[in-house]
C-alpha cells in the first residue's frame, strides 16, 4: 500500500498506523509476543512472508522504535530483534484484534485465547476507565479535542455526528 | 500490499486483519465513528484517499460485514454506509490505537482523546478481565490454544517462548 505519510495528521490513530506500517508488521509483532527474536523465527512464524519483505519490515519496526537490534554473535555477525517498551505496549491492540477475530471470524470455534496463568481461565477482557474503575461503554464516551488540537480539529469534532 | 488471504490461518489476529483489509479501512472506520455515512463524508474525512480507493474499500467493508449499505434516495439512487454490530465492535481496536498513538507519537501534545460524556474527564482506559474484575497485566496472561486449535497450533504455542 502506498500513501503519503500520515504522520503530520493530527490523528493518533493515523500516526499509529503509520508507525506500524502494514499488516505484515502486526503479524511480525505477534510472533515477537510468542517469543520470536531471530530472523528465522519470524520467517517461520509469519506464513507466506518473503525474506525481502521481512527484512524491510523489521528495519521499519527498528526505525520507528518498536524493536531494537541486539547483536548476539560477532562472527558471524548476527542480530536479534527485541521489543522496546513502545513495541510491548502495542499488546492491547493485539489483544483487541484477537478478541474481535474470535467473536466474528472463527466459525469453527476459537483457535487461540488469552488465559490467566494462575487460574487457567480464558480471559474475558473489557475496557475500564481508571477515573471510575468501571467499564467504558461506547455510549458514555466521545472523542474530544486534546490540548494540542488545532482550530480545524476542534471544528471537525464539534460538527461530528458521534452517536 | 499483496498477500494471499490469511483467512485460513488459525489466528484470529490474521483473520481480523484480513477482514479489515488495510490502513485505509481503519481510517474509514474512524470516520464512521465520527458519524460519517455518505461517500462524500468519508472522502472529506480521510485525507488523501482517492475516490476509486474509497469505493473499493467501502465495498470490501460491506462484503466482509462491517458496514451495510442503506439506500437513502431513490432518484437519484444514493446509498449510505451504516456500521453493523461487527463494525461497531471494532471500536476497542480504535481506542487502543488512539491510546498508543497518544502515548508514543504525539510529541506536540494530545490532539484527540476520549472523554466521559457526563464528567468531561479524559478517559484513562485499561483492560480488565470479567473473571476477576481486575486489570489484565500482560505478565499474568498467556496465549493458549482454544477448543478449535489443531495439533500443530498446540505445538507452536507449547514451544513458544512467551515472556
**Does residue A86 have a pLDDT over 80?**
yes
**Does residue A128 have a pLDDT over 90?**
yes
Asked if A148 and B110 come within 8 Å (Cβ–Cβ), the reply is yes
Question: Quick one: which of B93, B139, B90, B7 has its CA closest to A20?
Answer: B93
Give how far A42 is from chain B: nearest CA, Å.
Answer: 12
Mutation pick from B40, B111, B140, B149 vs chain A, by most beta carbons of A within 10 Å, is B111
Nearest beta carbon to residue A109 from set B91, B147, B162: B147
Whose grid coordinates read 472523542?
A143
Q: Calculate mean pLDDT across residues A120-138.
A: 91
Count other C-beta atoms under 10 Å from residue A76's C-beta.
5
- Identical topology for domains B12-88 and B91-157: yes
CATH classification number, B12-88, choose in 3.10.580.10, 1.10.10.10, 2.102.10.10, 2.60.40.10: 1.10.10.10
The Cα–Cα gap between B98 and A141 comes to 14
Per the structure block, which three cell numbers stand in for A14? Answer: 493515523
pLDDT tens digits, B103-121? 998 888 998 999 999 999 9
Give how far A66 is from chain B: nearest CA, Å.
Answer: 10
Asked if A17 and B97 come within 8 Å (Cβ–Cβ), the reply is yes
Task: List the CATH code of the domain at B91-157.
Answer: 1.10.10.10
**Does residue A26 have a pLDDT over 60?**
yes
User: What confidence category does residue A153 fall into, taking pLDDT thresholds of 50, 70 and 90?
Assistant: confident
Asked if A144 and B99 come within 8 Å (Cβ–Cβ), the reply is no
Count other C-beta atoms under 10 Å from residue A131's C-beta.
14
Asked if A47 and B6 come within 8 Å (Cβ–Cβ), the reply is yes
Proportion of chain A above pLDDT 90, given as a percent: 48
Nearest beta carbon to residue A126 from set B7, B30, B130: B130
Helix pair angle (B91-104, A12-20), 10° resolution: 80
Count other C-beta atoms under 10 Å from residue B2's C-beta.
4
Enumerate the domain spans of chain B: 12-88, 91-157
**Does residue B7 have a pLDDT over 80?**
no
Confidence at residue B21, expressed as pLDDT on a 0 to 100 scale: 65
Question: Quick one: which of A150, A125, A159 has its CA closest to B137?
Answer: A125
**Does residue A8 have a pLDDT over 60?**
no
Cis peptide leading into B76, omega within 30 of 0? yes
User: What confidence category does residue A67 fall into, taking pLDDT thresholds of 50, 70 and 90?
Assistant: very high
**Does residue A135 have a pLDDT over 80?**
yes
Give how far B14 is from chain A: nearest CA, Å.
Answer: 7
A102 sits in which H/E element: helix A91-104
User: What confidence category does residue B5 fall into, taking pLDDT thresholds of 50, 70 and 90?
Assistant: very low
Indicate yes or no: pTM above 0.90: no
Give how far A74 is from chain B: nearest CA, Å.
Answer: 24
**Does residue B1 have a pLDDT over 80?**
no
Residues 6+ positions from A17 with CB-CB distance below 8 Å: A6, B23, B26, B27, B97
Amino acid at each position: 500500500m502506498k500513501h503519503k505519510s500520515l504522520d503530520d495528521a493530527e490523528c493518533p490513530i493515523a500516526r499509529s498506523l503509520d508507525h506500524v506500517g502494514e499488516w505484515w508488521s502486526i503479524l511480525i509483532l505477534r510472533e515477537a509476543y510468542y517469543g520470536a527474536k531471530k530472523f528465522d523465527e519470524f520467517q517461520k512464524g509469519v506464513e507466506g512472508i518473503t525474506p525481502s519483505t521481512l527484512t524491510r519490515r523489521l528495519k521499519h519496526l527498528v526505525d520507528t522504535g518498536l524493536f531494537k537490534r541486539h547483536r548476539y554473535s560477532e562472527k558471524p555477525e548476527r542480530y536479534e530483534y527485541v521489543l522496546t517498551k513502545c513495541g510491548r505496549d502495542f499488546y492491547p491492540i493485539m489483544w483487541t484484534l484477537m478478541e474481535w477475530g474470535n467473536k466474528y471470524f472463527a466459525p469453527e470455534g476459537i483457535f487461540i485465547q488469552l488465559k490467566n496463568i494462575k487460574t487457567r481461565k480464558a480471559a474475558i477482557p473489557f475496557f475500564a476507565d481508571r477515573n471510575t474503575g468501571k467499564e467504558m461503554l461506547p455510549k458514555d464516551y466521545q472523542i474530544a479535542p486534546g490540548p494540542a488540537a488545532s482550530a480545524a480539529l476542534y471544528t471537525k469534532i464539534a460538527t461530528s455526528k458521534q452517536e
